[in-house]
A = this chain, B = another copy of it.
Amino acid sequence: MTEQEELNKAIVLRFNKEVLENGSIDAINEIISPDFINHTAPPGTPVGPQGIIDFTINMMHKALTGISVQIHDQVIENDKVVTRKTIYGTQVGSFMGVAPSGEQVAINIIDIITLKNGQYTEHWSIRDIQDMIDKSAKANNR
């Protein structure tokens, strides 16, 4: 792995710890480029840090408490970092259209980040929220 690839890997690990787990807006503003494009976000999502603040702080951290991220694997080539991970949290509010169960849920993700000059510039991901859906359905008797 090149020095640049090592650095990019560390930035992605920092994002998962400081932003996804700890909800740091300062870290978002440092890590996310003003030109950042989230290819997985719904149409109308702002480019740059604001789109991540909207999703991560204003939605995810309100819906899930005690968030932890388990990193299973990373695959790194040049300016791209792939991460296979699970986000755990107790669902106390609606999230991605799913009513809360009050239980700990696991969201499985593989994401691809493109970085430039130490900042996120692009993001693609696929998420598996079946565990959250199943627990919501059971808790809400559907």
In the complex, chain A residues 95-116 whose Cβ is within 8 Å of any chain B Cβ = 108-112
Can you name the residue of chain B whose Cβ is closest to the Cβ of A80? B75
Query: What residues of chain A have their CB less than 8 Å away from a CB belonging to chain B?
Result: 1, 73, 75-77, 80, 82, 84, 108-112, 124-128
A126 with B124: CB separation less than 8 A: no
Q: A84's contact among B73, B77, B124, by CB below 8 Å, is which?
A: B124
Cα distance A80–B81 when bound, in Å?
13
Pull 29 A–B residue pairs with CB atoms less than 8 Å apart, ordered by A.
Answer: A1-B77, A73-B80, A73-B112, A73-B124, A75-B75, A75-B76, A75-B77, A75-B80, A75-B82, A75-B112, A76-B77, A77-B77, A82-B82, A82-B110, A82-B112, A84-B112, A84-B124, A108-B126, A109-B126, A110-B110, A110-B111, A110-B112, A110-B124, A110-B125, A110-B126, A126-B126, A126-B127, A126-B128, A127-B128
Query: What is the minimal beta-carbon distance from A74 to any residue of chain B, in angstroms?
Result: 9
Cα distance A77–B111 when bound, in Å?
15
Query: What is the minimal beta-carbon distance from A30 to any residue of chain B, in angstroms?
Result: 24
Can you name the residue of chain B whose Cβ is closest to the Cβ of A108? B126
Cα distance A53–B124 when bound, in Å?
29
Interface-centre pick from A75, A76, A128 (highest chain B CB count, 10 A):
A75
Residues of B within 8 A of A110 (CB): 82, 110-112, 124-126
